[in-house]
Copies of this chain bind each other. A is one copy, B any other.
Amino acid sequence: MGCGSALPTRSNLPSSQLLELRNKQFLIDCGEGMQIRMRQMPVRVSRMNHIFISHLHGDHCFGLIGLICTLGMLGRTADLYIHAQPDLERLLQPLINYHGDGMLYKVHFEPFNPKEHAVIYEDRSVCVSTLPLRHRVPCAGFLFEEKPRLPHILPEQISRYNIPHSSINLIKQGAGFTTEDGTYIPHEQLTTPATSPLRYAYCSDTAYNERIIPLIQGVDCLYHEATFGSEMSERARHTMHSTAAQAATIAQKAQVGQLIIGHFSARHADQGRLFEEARSIFPNTILAHDGMRHEIRHAITS
C-alpha cells in the first residue's frame, strides 16, 4: 500500500502491506496515510485482525492511530491485535484512550522480541515468525507460512469404492480404505497431493544481513528493502539500509522464488535503475509500487 521510505514522495507513501492468506488479512507495517491508500485502492480490511509492526520508526507505524480510530468510526467490533515491540503500547495506548472514545472494539498489544527468530502468531492454517534484522533500532522482519494442507480426495474414487462420509477425514490424514469385499485401496490411489504451503518473507528495514538466509531459504516470495542504489552503498551502510544489489544477493543466496524490492529512498526518483540493478543479480525481481496488487505463486522447485 506504500513502498516509500522515511520521506514520502508524490508517488510513494511510507511502508505498508496487506497480506491475504487463507482468507485472512494481515497488515504489515502501517506508515502514515495507510488508511488513505486503503480508500484510494480501494481495499476493505474486514478480515484483518492482526497487525505486524517491524520497528518503531515513524514511517512504519504513524498510520496506526488514524487507522484504529477510523475502524472505530466504521463500527468495528472485532478485537484487533498489534504485534510489535514492547515500546509501542506505551506510545500508542494513551492516544487510543484519548482519541478512541466510543470505540466498540479493543486493541491488544502482543509484544515480541525482535532479536529472536520465534513464532509470534499461529492459527489453524497460518504461522508467523520473526526474522531478526539489522537496523539502527531493534527491528524484525516477518515470515508468513501457510500450514500444510491436507491432500484432496478424488471425488470419482469416493463413488467408485462407495466410501462413507465418516472415512473421509481419516483418508485425508493419510489412511487407505478397505472396500466391502475386503480390497485395500492405498491412500495414494484415493488422493492427489495437497498444494504445497506458500511462504512469504518481509524484510524491512535492514542492512545487508546474511544471517537471515537460512531463515528464508526457498520462500516463494521475499520482500526485501532496497532503499538505495549501489552508488549510495556508503549511505546504505551508514543508515543500515540495503542497496538493490544487496537485496538481490540475499534473494539469490536464499534461493527464493521471487523478489519484490521496495522502501525506496526519496532520492531515487528513477526507481528503474534500482530494478535493473537487482534484476542483473536476481532475474525474477519485481519493483513494488504504491497500490500494487500481487499474487504470490509457488516457487518452481527443481
Contacts and interface: CB of A to CB of B under 8 A. Distances in A.
A265 to B, nearest CB: 12
Interface in A133-182: none
Interface string A63-106: 10110011001100000000000010011001100110000000
A35 B57 CA distance: 16
A99 B57 contact: yes
Interface string A101-141: 00000000000000000000000000000000000000000
29 contacts: A6-B70, A7-B73, A7-B74, A8-B39, A8-B70, A9-B39, A10-B39, A10-B40, A32-B33, A32-B35, A32-B63, A32-B66, A33-B36, A36-B36, A56-B98, A56-B99, A57-B99, A58-B65, A58-B69, A58-B99, A62-B65, A62-B66, A62-B69, A87-B98, A90-B94, A91-B94, A91-B95, A91-B98, A94-B94
A74 B9 CA distance: 13
Contacts of A69: 58, 62
Contacts of A63: 32
A56 B33 CA distance: 18
A58 B103 CA distance: 14
Contacts of A35: 8, 32
A239 to B, nearest CB: 11
A107 to B, nearest CB: 15
A259 interface: no
Query: How many copies of this kind of chain does the complex include?
Result: 2
Contacts of A91: 94-95, 98
Contacts of A90: 94
A219 interface: no
A260 interface: no
Given A32-B32, A33-B32, A36-B13, A7 B70 contact: yes
Contacts of A94: 90-91, 94
Contacts of A40: 10
Contacts of A66: 32, 58, 62
A164 to B, nearest CB: 53
Interface in A1-51: 6-10, 13, 32-33, 35-36, 39-40, 42
A33 B62 CA distance: 10
A225 B66 CA distance: 21
Interface in A226-283: none
Contacts of A42: 10
Contacts of A99: 56-58
Contacts of A65: 58, 62
